[in-house]
Amino acid sequence: MKLAGRHFTIRARIFALVLAATLPLVALAFALGVMEYLHAREVSVDRARSVARNVAVRIEAHLAGLEATLQRLAERPRVKSLDPAACDAAIADYVSLHPQFTTLVVRRANGGLVCSSRKDTLPTVDPERFSWFEPAVRAGGFRASGAFVDPHTARWVTVLTYPIRGATGEVSGIAILPLDLDSLGQRLRGSIPDDFLVGVIDADDRYLIRSRRGDTYQGQPLAPHIARALRASAGDFEAEGPDGVARQYAHQPIAGPGWRVAAGIEQDTLVAASRRQLAASIAFFVPFLLAVFFVTWRLGRTIADPIRDLANTATRLAEGDSGARAAGANLREIDEVARQLNRMLEVQATHREALLASERRFRDLVENVPNIAVQGYDRERRVTFWNDASERLYGWSPDEALGRRLEDLIIPPPIREIVIEQHARWVRGGPGIPASELVLQRKDGSPVSVFSSHSMRADAHGDPEMYCIDVDLTALKRAEQEVAAWRERYRTAILASGQVIHEWDPATDTLSIFGDTRRILGYAPEELAGSLDRWRALLHPEDQPRFDEEAGRSRRTGTPFRLEYRVRHRNGEWLFVEDNGYFVRDASGAIDCLVCFVVDVTARHRADERIREQLEELRRWHAAMLGREGRLLDLKREVNAVMGRLGEPPRYPSAETAGSGETA
């Protein structure tokens, strides 16, 4: 077991085992504390929600009652008339009957005073000082303002307003009823538990009512972080109040005026039960764990001391004391380990000589292998091993190479920094240098192509040592160049012959095209490469079945492919081609590919066609001429016969001769 580069001792392992056994008990106590805290928090949050809803409902009900009162007042004829000389007596009577209201006022929509329960009421309203007035006129319905200082009483109030409408329904005035916030707070405090802090906040994020120290906070703005949390429709949040106390809050909006109720309970109250549970757990578990750890320490020492003796024996062996042997102990397992260690040491001494002999044989093999160059390099890339094949490949003798750096011997200047960086990264534990073909340099500076493989191992002192195994590729590269040259001659010969050659691999259905395809077919070779179907698509539809039949026959029998067929030129013209294909076989005799030589024989076909047409025309003329001469001969004979009957010589002697000749 190892952690952060350090090995655990036996004693530490036993401590860890005991800790693992007691950890579930500690975790159980912790879980109980967490469950107690979560339960207390959930109960408190539910209570906070209930308190917030209860306060919100009571305020909504109270405001609804006052809205109904103002509505009835606004509908009274004397109030609707807005006549200062005919004030409704109910205005003064209402305030005298309800002392929680400072005054009741009726004003026109322009702010002019109509009637008031107080004689010192201002005749007009200053919109900047009384910022609630114009929004109340525009509201067109019942409205409760934010926190406002009554100019008559210097007390914090919320101004309740209701529109007074004229005969046509327009808002011609408003009824104004300031509600004392301290009085409203007194109505609510009886429903607020002692361990809760409740605040009523207006639409401008200012305190209307606070259940504790309300006179200090009335009209004051909320802390920004609390104001942001209250902008949600409803919910819970944790925050630290202006008094520096962290609380769990629940908040509830009040329908209508845009107010919100926040009810909070102190975090200390939530965790009080958890703290009591934690203190009880600590009081039990600390003595218990101390006792367990003491017993564990004694047990660990009993086991660790014999093991330490074994470690001392191993140290002596590492320092070269080959005669060191492990002593026994009073523990059966330790005794068995000591016995097996001593036996191993005896066997190791026997095998050491065999190993050294094997290493000598291997080194002789590497040094004398004729065609594989092997070099060894230390951490600093200095040569530690250089066999005879390396001397033949690179020109440096072992005496010249040993002790010199890799990059100074065989690495060309352009890649020296790359090789140094790759080696350093490998030594640091990074990726190894992959095997690959490289162009290195000989002692005389000439390039040499090699395939180089690399291996990293630790030497006798634990230091990294890199071995390179290089195979000379000079002959292979020369052969590849010759093959490339012959391939180029082959392609040139194909172009010069005016043929198209395609190679088809039956195993992969891969088709390769060579030759003067642009001149013959109008396509570039790469446009025709692909599968056999790409070539078959160029064939005339009438010739495709014959092509498939011949290809199948040739493949079944392994005999050459021979067929004349038509292919379509890029310009749409049909060409006649002669296709002769031959199978190429590998060393085992299996078919490797089919090489086909395609020759354009369109000109020959057209010449043959013209010859056939000319022969046919000659035949027709010959037949026509033969019939005409026969009729002339018959006519001449008839004339000669008439002349004979008249006793005169034949008029056409040649006709008689022609007749005898034909008879003959």
Judge if 362 and 310 occupy the same domain.
no
pLDDT of 101 reads: 82
Residue 329 lies in a domain: no
Compute CA 214 distance to the chain's CA centroid, rounded to the nearest angstrom. Answer: 56
* Domain end point (choices 430, 449, 472): 472
More confident residue, 419 or 293: 419
Is a pLDDT exceeding 90 seen at residue 651? no
The single residue listed with the structure tokens 């539809």 is 541
* Domain end point (choices 545, 570, 600): 600
In whole angstroms, give the CA distance from residue 391 to residue 389.
5
Query: Cα separations (Å) of 289 from 12, 14, 18, 26, 300?
Result: 15, 14, 9, 10, 16
Judge if 491 and 583 occupy the same domain.
yes
User: What is the tens place of the pLDDT at every residue in 536-580?
Assistant: 899 999 999 999 999 889 888 889 999 999 999 999 999 999 999
More confident residue, 291 or 588: 588
| pLDDT, mean over the chain | 82
The single residue listed with the structure tokens 């020959």 is 604
Q: Which two tokens stand for residue 70?
A: 């103002």
pLDDT of 4 reads: 46
Judge if 64 and 86 occupy the same domain.
yes
Going by C-alpha positions, the residue among 306, 367, 293 that lies closest to residue 336 is 306
**Helix, strand or coil, per DSSP, at residue 158:** strand
Read off the pTM.
Answer: 0.42
User: What is the tens place of the pLDDT at every residue in 191-208?
Assistant: 888 888 898 988 888 988
Q: How many distinct structural domains can be found in the chain? A: 5
* Domain limits for position 387: 369-472
Average pLDDT over residues 1-13: 57
- Concatenating the DSSP letter of every residue in 42-111 gives HHHHHHHHHHHHHHHHHHHHHHHHHHHHHHHHHTSHHHHHT-GGG--THHHHHHHH-TTB---EEEETTS
Judge if 133 and 221 occupy the same domain.
yes
Q: What is the CATH number of the domain that holds 448?
A: 3.30.450.20
Low-confidence winner among 205-214, 361-370, 610-619 (lowest mean pLDDT): 361-370
pLDDT of 177 reads: 92
Judge if 91 and 146 occupy the same domain.
yes
Q: How many CB atoms lie within 10 A of CB 565?
A: 19
Judge if 539 and 460 occupy the same domain.
no
* Domain end point (choices 423, 454, 472): 472
Low-confidence winner among 178-192, 363-377, 423-437 (lowest mean pLDDT): 363-377
Residue 308 lies in a domain: yes
Residue 437 lies in a domain: yes
